[in-house]
Amino acid sequence: MRAGTLELNWNIGLGAIWLYVLEGSINADVQVTGDNFLQSTYNAIMEVAEWGVKDLYSIPNVHYKDIHVDGTGTSVISGRVAGTSTFENVDARNVGAVGVNNCGSFHFTSAGSEFSLFGNGNDGGGTTGPWLASWELPNTITCDDRPAVVPPPAPSGW
């Protein structure tokens, strides 16, 4: 609740939960299941690589399932790393910016982002539409390096 603060050294908003690579790729099968994110100050979820190693390491195998996101100051997920994540039955509402802030490893190639997302059974969103829109899949670049924060409304029952 109300997690996901501003990282002062990087001057970016963090996720309430974030996976961070610095000394090597996270090659484990990471499962995030059954969580509730309530009024995240910035992102609900963030996957990121330290800038100096962004071309060396990745997070290739993360799965999010049965999650509620109620209010984000920015996005449901900010991907700032190479890798792949899946989303199943992730419901989001009151999303303050585009649902997926996909920067990949900041190369912006014509082939798309180095961070790919796949999902099914997801719904909800915010003022920009569904949080995981079909046009974003699998690796559409939607990067806004420092999106404006929109305070989410008070939570209510699902």
How many Cα atoms occupy the beta-carbon half-sphere of 153 within 13 Å? 6
Q: Where are the domains of the chain?
A: 6-136
pLDDT along the chain (158 residues), means of 10: 81 90 97 95 95 96 97 94 97 93 94 94 89 88 87 78
Q: How many angstroms separate the first and last alpha carbons of the chain? A: 16
- Spatial separation of the C-alpha atoms in residues 131 and 144, rounded to whole Å: 15
The pTM for the full model equals 0.90
Instruction: Say which DSSP state 109 is in.
Output: B
Burial class (CB in 10 A: 0-12, 13-18, 19+), 7: middle
